[in-house]
Structure 1
Amino acid sequence: MTTFLQLHLLTAYPPSNPNRDDQGRPKQATVGGAPRLRLSSQSIKRAVRVSPPFQQGLAGHMGQRTKLMGDMLRKHLIERGADAETARKKAEEIGKVFGKIEAADKKRPDALQGTTLAFISPDERAFALELADKAFAGEALPTEKDLAKTVLRTADGAVDIAMFGRMLADNPGFNREAAVQISHAITTHRAQSEDDYFTAVDDLKTRNDDSGGAHLGEHSFGSGVYYLYACVNCDLLVANLAGDRALAARGLRALVQAMATATPSGKQNSHAHRPRAGHIRAEIGSAAPRDLTGAFFSPVKGEDLLEASVTALTEMAGAIDDAYGPAADRVQIMDVRARQGTLAGLEEFAASALGQQDD
């Protein structure tokens, strides 16, 4: 049976605007008929991927999302001594395995850029560079049919690709199903964005000059307690990592740490929002996963919204277990204000979902 690791987090954000819509305002959603603030799952995944637990803790096992793989190959060949025309031709032949190449830009006729962002693993990058070196040495490139098999992989050591998946429209056989699903985070209570009217002063302006600010503007922000849910298919994670259970365990530890501490960075210089999860419920089991958003369809109320949110979350988990049976074989809680549990303990708990510890 499949083993699932489920994470439920409650995090209190100060006035901030970490994830903006097209108008520059905090993203919002209507849940249970009530307005809420929202953080998109895309912004959360990005924050997780660029966080220190991932970038430092999983160095060498991180993919790159880019349109510029072809241009990197072109520059590599030029550095090896190839002329510009040959470098571009060979780089385009190899680079198209990651997606279609855009038509040459008049401003940068030599640049090579894909039409879509491709998620590329370190192994695939190395294979592409090796192929470019062989082409420069005079070897013929594989046929278009065999090129994908030479460069692309369905499983390797890229933890972020194994977790969050990828789609290659031109080579769907090398798509990877995401082992980790992350929800949009919503406030557990009614919340709406606010507008701030601000001015800035010209430092060189003297008292004899006209009074008033030299610049005025408007800025939106909001605050609240956010509920965030994540589900990990542990068996799929191991399979996506070519069976490397130790690396998968490292990835789970990094995921728990990043989700507890990393935040989308929009307007961070203006607000210094760096919250940490106040309550985390981690569950391991083989039952069908379920989120606990239903705890907040009726917005929580009261003077202590975090405490009310913890109570609602716990009661909903118990109610679902009573109705459907236990959703997990094991549960571990970290609650900051109750001084219950530690992040290190949750990391070890998450890694135990794989049935063994890493080295």
Structure 2
Amino acid sequence: MNNLTLHFINTIPWSNLNRDDTGTPKRAVIGGTLRAMLSSQSIKRAVRTDYELRSGDQSLRSTNLAGIIANRACEINVELDPKKALKDSEKLISALVKKEKTARPAVDESESKEPGISSWLSAEEIETAAAAVAEDRLMVKAQGKEKLTEFVEPGKTGSLSIAAFGRMFALAPEANTHAAVAVSPAIAVHKTIIETDYFSTVDDDPKASHAGASYLGLASYTSGVFYRSITIDRAQLRRAWTGHDSENAREQLSLMVYSLVYGLPSGKKNVTAPYVQPLLVLSEEQAHRVAYDFETPVLAEADGGYGEQAVKTIAQQVEAARAFDAANFGRSAVAGTSAARLEIAAEQVDLDRLVANAVDWILA
């Protein structure tokens, strides 16, 4: 089976991890009821930054990649003219992505005056491009014609983050990297409300004219039990990631799976500290990607709380899915602080074992 789907149920206390343009927690209407939401994009960003911090496998997304490449080229070749380096770097980047219609002034000479749409390169690709600029190898002969140096391998990358989440080059679609990991938004399994918090800051100077509250404001927060799913496409990951057969592939994949478990957005994290371990992480080998849903909102227990009912609902959906098409499912494993409550045919494991199982499956 080519797909491994991880299902998560997380309790997220009072927080605002992912907000809209008004500062309000993101939300969606599901099954006719308002639900709090963490966007897929915010989750992928959190996973990527967590993984790259853990692993050192760096990548960079920016509108100023030309300036970054030019700076690195000047470090490689200290005699290189910075203006020429920037011009050559812009040529490389402009072969991949469109430029903005209106140029803007650069902050300094190392920043491109005509930045393109935000693009994403691995540290290795940046280094390769910088070396080409530093050594004046901007143009190379190919089939008797001159062409720009290729520093991005079509459809492939050494960055596990890029291979996982994919990237697009508007002017070079043949170089696109298709995502190997599909990430759903995290949606509250029950009706939610957005709460408004009135806050003030206190002026410690008793002589100040505004002694007492020096600032008054309002902020929005929510809380809930959230469901999300992530699917790894093994074949696509092998196609896209050049490191799948390297000696440190197992370590990198393990760190990525840990980040898939723990990577959540960081909005207002220092004023709410909302992170708790997941109630449930269910791993399923699947022939076709299947997630579960909570269109009907979960009701709170008599004494309050949605977590237990969320786990029971997942168990019911798992049994129904397997009754409908048992051949779609292979090996399953379950971990989490409420994993013992999930009464289905799945191996009960801790997080380390679940991660090891996932990595074994990817490398098989």
Provide TM-score, normalisation by structure 2.
0.87
Matches of residues 261-272 of structure 1 in structure 2 within 5 Å? 261-272=262-273
Q: Tell me the residue number matched to 1:68.
A: 64
Helix, strand or coil for the counterpart of 1:201?
A: strand
Alpha-carbon offset, residue 315 of structure 1 = 0.6
Identity, % of aligned pairs?
29
Contact conserved, 2:203 with 2:210, CA < 8 A, in 1?
A: no
Alpha-carbon offset, residue 83 of structure 1 = 3.0
Q: For the structure 1 residues 45 and 152, does the alpha-carbon distance in structure 2 shift closer, same or farther, using more than 3 Å as the test? A: same
More deviation, 33-42/139-148: 139-148
Matches of residues 339-354 of structure 1 in structure 2 within 5 Å? 340-354=348-362
Q: Tell me the residue number matched to 1:235.
A: 235
Q: For the structure 1 residues 134 and 148, does the alpha-carbon distance in structure 2 shift closer, same or farther, using more than 3 Å as the test? A: closer
Q: Aligned equivalents of 2:45 and 2:185: distance in 1?
A: 13
1:298 maps onto 2:306 in alignment: no
Contact conserved, 1:159 with 1:248, CA < 8 A, in 2?
A: no
- Structure 2 letter corresponding to 1:82: L
1:283 maps onto 2:291 in alignment: no
Gaps of 5+ in 1: none
Q: Tell me the residue number matched to 2:344.
A: none
Alpha-carbon offset, residue 211 of structure 1 = 6.3
Q: For the structure 1 residues 148 and 8, does the alpha-carbon distance in structure 2 shift closer, same or farther, using more than 3 Å as the test? A: farther
- Structure 1 letter corresponding to 2:85: A
Alpha-carbon offset, residue 19 of structure 1 = 0.2
Contact conserved, 2:140 with 2:147, CA < 8 A, in 1?
A: yes
Helix, strand or coil for the counterpart of 1:142?
A: strand
Q: Tell me the residue number matched to 1:87.
A: 85
Contact conserved, 2:204 with 2:211, CA < 8 A, in 1?
A: no
Q: For the structure 1 residues 148 and 230, does the alpha-carbon distance in structure 2 shift closer, same or farther, using more than 3 Å as the test? A: farther
Helix, strand or coil for the counterpart of 2:150?
A: helix
Contact conserved, 2:70 with 2:86, CA < 8 A, in 1?
A: yes
1:49 maps onto 2:81 in alignment: no
Matches of residues 1-359 of structure 1 in structure 2 within 5 Å? 3-51=2-50, 53-57=51-55, 59-60=56-57, 62-79=58-75, 80-102=78-100, 104-106=103-105, 108=107, 110=109, 111-112=111-112, 114-135=115-136, 141-142=139-140, 146-147=147-148, 149-206=150-207, 212-242=212-242, 244-245=244-245, 249-285=250-286, 287-293=287-293, 296-301=294-299, 302=301, 303-337=304-338, 340-356=348-364
Q: For the structure 1 residues 232 and 152, does the alpha-carbon distance in structure 2 shift closer, same or farther, using more than 3 Å as the test? A: same
Of Structure 1 and Structure 2, the greater strand share is in 2
Contact conserved, 2:336 with 2:351, CA < 8 A, in 1?
A: no
Q: For the structure 1 residues 167 and 140, does the alpha-carbon distance in structure 2 shift closer, same or farther, using more than 3 Å as the test? A: closer
Contact conserved, 2:5 with 2:285, CA < 8 A, in 1?
A: yes
Q: Aligned equivalents of 2:363 and 2:87: distance in 1?
A: 49
Number of residue pairs the alignment of both structures matches: 345
Helix, strand or coil for the counterpart of 2:354?
A: helix
- Structure 2 letter corresponding to 1:354: I
What does the per-residue CA deviation read over 1:322-347, in whole Å, with 9 as the maximum and x for residues that have no partner? 11224321000113145652110110
Q: Aligned equivalents of 1:306 and 1:140: distance in 2?
A: 58
Contact conserved, 1:234 with 1:354, CA < 8 A, in 2?
A: yes
Helix, strand or coil for the counterpart of 2:158?
A: coil
Q: For the structure 1 residues 276 and 54, does the alpha-carbon distance in structure 2 shift closer, same or farther, using more than 3 Å as the test? A: farther
Provide TM-score, normalisation by structure 1.
0.88
Q: Aligned equivalents of 1:92 and 1:23: distance in 2?
A: 35
Alpha-carbon offset, residue 355 of structure 1 = 4.9
Contact conserved, 1:4 with 1:232, CA < 8 A, in 2?
A: yes
Q: Aligned equivalents of 2:308 and 2:267: distance in 1?
A: 27
What does the per-residue CA deviation read over 1:185-211, in whole Å, with 9 as the maximum and x for residues that have no partner? 0001111211011111110025x9666
- Structure 2 letter corresponding to 1:226: F
More deviation, 92-101/176-185: 92-101
Q: For the structure 1 residues 44 and 140, does the alpha-carbon distance in structure 2 shift closer, same or farther, using more than 3 Å as the test? A: closer
Q: Aligned equivalents of 2:30 and 2:146: distance in 1?
A: 48
Alpha-carbon offset, residue 351 of structure 1 = 1.1
- Structure 2 letter corresponding to 1:298: T
Q: For the structure 1 residues 245 and 191, does the alpha-carbon distance in structure 2 shift closer, same or farther, using more than 3 Å as the test? A: farther
Q: For the structure 1 residues 41 and 210, does the alpha-carbon distance in structure 2 shift closer, same or farther, using more than 3 Å as the test? A: closer
What does the per-residue CA deviation read over 1:218-273, in whole Å, with 9 as the maximum and x for residues that have no partner? 00000000001011101110111137245654454223311322220001111112
CA RMSD in angstroms, aligned pairs only? 2.4
- Structure 1 letter corresponding to 2:214: A
Q: For the structure 1 residues 227 and 338, does the alpha-carbon distance in structure 2 shift closer, same or farther, using more than 3 Å as the test? A: closer
